[in-house]
Every structure is written in C-alpha cells, then in structure tokens.
Amino acid sequence: MQPTIKDLAEWVIANRRGKVFEGWTMEQVAVAFIQAFENREALYATDENGYLIGVCICKRADEYAVMHVDNLLVKRGARGVLRRFVEVFRSWYPGWDLQGYRHENLKRFANGQTKVLCDKIEGCVL
C-alpha cells in the first residue's frame, strides 16, 4: 500500500534526527511533500513489508540541470535506500548533476559522477 502524505509526515516527525527537517512542524512537512510530489522532487522507500524506511525532498534547478537534495532521512540500519534514490534520480533526470549539503559542505556530483556515487555507496549501511 502506498503511504499517504500524512503517513510520510508522521514518519518524518517520529524519525528525524540531526538537522534533517529540524524545526519543521507536521504541517510544514506535509505541505513540502505535496509540493515536491507535484514537481517530481520527492521520493520515499519502503521495506519488503511496506513500512517506510526513507524519504527525500529535493529542489530542481532546471536552468542548471541540477537537483539539490534539501532533506534526506533514512531509518537507521536500512540498507540500499540512498542507492535506490540515486538510481531513481538518474532515471528521471538523465545527465543532471546531483548536489546537497553534508556536514555543512556543499557536495556536487556532476553528470557522470552520479554513477560513481552509486558505486561508492554500494552496500553501505545508513
């Protein structure tokens, strides 16, 4: 079964940590997901039982062919979620760059480097 916006928002509030969705209310999370799904800027992942294990909200910069990851939250111990997200991104936006902040540093993976990113995270535990 596909999760609802309410399911996604509740999961984020219950599982957020660090700076991911920091200070956001449930309503703000829900609105962000609505807007992101309308613009093809959101992903979620479930396990084999249909339970949420990860969410991602991005912002497209069409003029630069860049997708910026705003918030990425993965359940502790979930394997392969980030890799799945990158693979979906590559299929939706072929040739685009992917970027986001990691420990307050902007990391950008240029067009060909998203495959390198996938290879680097093969089998990683998040």
In a domain, 82, yes or no: yes
DSSP letter at 79?
B
Asked if residue 101 is part of any domain, the answer here is: yes
Does residue 91 fall inside a structural domain? yes
C-alpha 4/C-alpha 49 separation (Å) is 16
pLDDT surpasses 90 at 18: no
pLDDT at 14 over 70: yes
The CATH number that applies at residue 96 is 3.40.630.30
Range of the domain at 103: 5-120
126 lies in some domain: no
SS3 95: coil
Chain segment 28-43, per-residue pLDDT in tens: 999 999 999 999 999 9
Q: Which regions of 9-122 does DSSP assign to beta strands (E)?
A: 42-46, 52-61, 66-74, 97-102, 105-109
What does the alpha-carbon distance between residue 44 and residue 73 come to, in Å, rounded to a whole number? 9
Of the given ranges (8-22, 57-71, 97-111), which has the lowest mean pLDDT? 97-111
Residue 76 lies in a domain: yes
DSSP state of 40: T
Model pTM above 0.85 = no
* Number of domains the chain contains: 1
